Amino acid sequence: MVSIARTVQRIKNQPLRIEGVLDAQLVEQVFADYGHHWRERTLGPAQTIELFIRQIMEGNESCGYVRQWAGGAFTAGAYCAARSRLPLAAVWGLCQRIWEHLRVEHEQEQPLWHGHRTFHLDGTSFSMPDTPELQDAFGQPTGQAKGCGFPIAHLLVSFDARTGMLLEAIPGPLYTHDLRDAHWIHRHLKRGDLLIGDKAFGSWVHLALLQSAGIDGLFPMHQRRKVANRKSFDRIETWPKPQAKPHWISQEQFDALPEQIQVRVVRRVIRRKGFRPLEVIMTTTLLDAKQYPADELVELGRGRWSAELNIRHLKTTMGLEILKCKTVDGVLKEMAIFLLVYNLVRAVMLKAAAAQNVEVDRISFADALAWIRCTSPGAALWKLLVNPERRDRIEPRAVKRRPKEHARLNKPRDQMRLALKKQRNRS
């Protein structure tokens, strides 16, 4: 069995120094700290985590593939059992420890925006196998009949805007409001940090919570607020406390918020050659117009689109969109390793960007992931693909390849199978 150091050696060589971030000793120490006890066996915690990481790196292949990588030293069932023995809290603890190390190491290399650390916040979802346990835990879309859909989980994620590193990820049931778990993101921030998100995060209550914690926010105008003035402006407004409490906050927390807050509202019309004028209305707690010019705020707010790209890397490029485990613990462990691998890829991208003197978001995520998968241990980091400038491009949200012309599964499979049997008997 190769050591865990060899699994990540290709991102621990000289051009990318993260020694001590991920090794067998660290894994065993973290699991021991969480009270996990194990006996010496082929698949201990370090060996299992090593294989788990490689499994996700290789496109979340089956447990049978993992058995082949190990030369048949164990069965697919033994590896699956070894994964199930890993305590969920210890797996998340290990991943979060590595996320923090990587993020802190690389954020020092990136400039601040007017003295502020900046972070992106967004919500997404992912699917998983249709089992009773997962249905109970996460639920499925209401438009799907029982037995005809798949459980869907809500996922709230936050990224370091400068490095693209994952800061935190909070899974929950499908119909979870994005703001319900935002306080878990706030705990990773400190006074003076700037949180950037979409209009769902620009509510009065969220802005008040951020101000009370000394954190700044920058969001598009919330959809429930209407702006009559159609001209460009930059003004300070006083917003009174709403009478109705949102369902995602407790009454005690709501009562502790002030009766009014001051926010800055900026409206700009962006004119681009070949495009219609784009109206942008931003709300922020950064009230000083001289220190934070309006045009810079608008440009910074538009940059939140990089969070959507990071989510696409996770779900489409890496395969987080559909997980394979059939238990809640299994799904959450699988997701944690996905997020760990994502941050390892971002570390490669940051080193490549520095070496190639380009912005990190122009380095191809897919090429960095392929480098990790394909290079030999100890290989130097060579030039990665650099994506061209594609600002303000427009692409249709349409699929060119036609789906197969099979009927939709609009009834549980058992019922449709029984109907087919009756039809065959009649014929």
Radius of gyration of the chain (CA): 24
CA distances from 14 to 92, 163, 232, 271, 377 (A): 28, 20, 51, 46, 12
Clarify whether residues 286 and 341 are in a common domain. no
φ, ψ for residue 166 (rounded to 5)? -70, 130
| Per-residue tokens: 206 | 């969220």
SS3 347: helix
Among 237, 186, 251, CA closest to 212: 186
> For strand 194-196 and strand 118-127, is the pairing parallel, antiparallel, or unpaired?
parallel
d(CA 268, CA 233): 7
Alpha helix segments (H runs only) across 286-358: 294-302, 305-312, 328-356
Same domain, yes or no: 222 and 293: yes
Q: Is 41 inside a domain boundary?
A: yes
Neighbours of 353 (CB within 10 A): 22
- Tell me if residue 113 falls in helix, strand or coil: strand
Domain end point (choices 355, 374, 393): 374
Where are the extended beta strands (E) located within 135-277?
A: 152-160, 166-173, 194-196, 216-220, 233-240, 260-270
Let me know if residue 158 belongs to a domain.
no
pTM of structure: 0.89
Type of residue found at 329: D
Predicted local distance difference test score (pLDDT) of residue 19? 37
Q: Do 84 and 54 sit in the same domain of this protein?
A: yes
When divided into structural domains, the chain yields a total of 2
DSSP 249: S
Q: What is the DSSP string of 376-412?
A: PTT----PPPBPPP-TT--------SPPP-PPP--S-
- pLDDT in the model for residue 10: 38
Same domain for 295 and 202: yes
Domain for residue 12, yes or no? yes
Residue 422: predicted pLDDT: 87
C-alpha distances out from residue 150 to 127, 130, 147, Å: 7, 5, 8
Q: Tell which residue, 322, 319, 337, has the closest CA to residue 91.
A: 337
11 and 57 in a single domain? The answer is: yes
pLDDT at residue 113 in the model: 94
Which residues form the domain of 361? 4-93+322-374
Domain presence at residue 98: no
If asked whether residues 328 and 291 sit together in one domain, one would say no
Domain membership flag for residue 220: yes
Q: How many angstroms separate the Cα of 333 from the Cα of each of 86, 99, 260, 323?
A: 9, 15, 42, 10
Contact present, 197 and 121 (Cβ < 8 Å): yes
Residues 267 and 357 both lie in one domain: no
In-domain check, residue 73: yes
Q: What is the pLDDT of residue 309?
A: 92
Residue 73 shares a structural domain with residue 16: yes
β-bridge pairing 278-284 and 260-270: antiparallel
Q: What is the pLDDT of residue 9?
A: 44
54, part of any domain: yes
Q: Is residue 103 part of a domain?
A: no
Claim to verify: residue 264 and residue 330 sit in the same structural domain: no
- Which parts of the chain register pLDDT below 50? 1-20
Q: Name residue 320's amino acid.
A: L
